[in-house]
Amino acid sequence: VPETVDSPRVRYRRQVRAEVLDHAWLQIATAGVSALSLKAIAAELGLTGPALYRYFASRDELLTELILTAYADLAQVAEACVDHRQTPVRQLEGLAVELRHWALARPQRYLLLYGTPVPGYRAPPEATALAGRIFAPVHAAVRALGDGQREQQGDAYLRSVTFWTRLHGVLSLELAGHFSGMDLDPEALYRNEIQSVITGR
């Protein structure tokens, strides 16, 4: 059996790329997107700045990869919540809970996708497709929910978007620290919002 293994060079390349991305995430987690710097990453890896141009054509390309990775990761989380043995209600609850876990685990990653846009940066078209993959499970579950309540599909769409905006409303303010001085349990608030959409209205 001829073991078709990647050549050492390919493996090495892949490993360095991964390390660059790891440190990029670390930078973002620490000081936000604006702190993302090729030279700084290189230094952390014990390399000089120009070395990274063997792996990424530019800072923007690195940023694009990070964004697409984040979208893909969240899409996978969302799709993993699709389980037709579960009721639509359970699926929506699961989606919301997983979204919150995902966001709280790495706030800056969530903000990279849904926070204030990076000025001067335009997301690639693939991002839209991935955003759709995140939304689809929500939409499907809400539609299934509506079947038992003989709803129009326009209503289901509005309801799905509302699900999304309500969760984002709580999450983004929580991540930005706007609840900090406010004698408030963000999780309870979040749970409340989940139920509000499921119950209807």
Enumerate binding residues for a copy of itself (CB under 8 A): 31-32, 34-35, 111, 114-117, 119-120, 128, 131, 158, 161-162, 164-170, 172-173, 176-178, 181-182, 184, 189, 192-193, 196, 199-201
> How far is it, in rounded angstroms, from Cα 29 to Cα 109?
7
Smallest separation, CB 190 to a copy of itself (Å)? 9
Judged by CB under 7 A, the residue of 2, 8, 120, 154 near DNA is 8
The yes or no reply on residue 50 touching DNA (CB under 7 A) is yes
CB 156 within 8 A of CB 142: yes
Residue 55 or 95 having the CB closest to a copy of itself:
95
Closest CA to 55 of 73, 72, 41, 35: 41
Instruction: By CB under 7 A, tell whether 48 contacts DNA.
Output: yes
Cα 185 from Cα 179, distance rounded (Å): 8
Q: Which of 1, 5, 7, 177 binds DNA (CB under 7 A)?
A: 7
Does 16 interact with DNA (rule: CB under 7 A)?
yes
Point out which span in 58-66, 126-134, 147-155, 191-199 binds DNA (CB under 7 A). Answer: 58-66
Site residues for DNA, window 86-105 (CB under 7 A)? none
CB-neighbour burial class of residue 159 (10 A; exposed 0-12, middle 13-18, buried 19+): buried
Rounded Cα distance between 170 and 167, Å, is: 5
Is residue 21 within the footprint of DNA (CB under 7 A)? no
CA neighbor of 60 nearest in space, from 108, 118, 132: 118
Strands (E), 40-158: none
Least distance to a copy of itself, CB of residue 84, Å: 26
Shortest gap between Cβ of 73 and DNA (angstroms)?
Answer: 23
Burial 47-73, CB ≥16 within 10 A → b, else e: beeeebeebbeebeebbbbbbbbbbeb
For DNA, the binding residue among 1, 3, 4, 9 (CB under 7 A) is 9
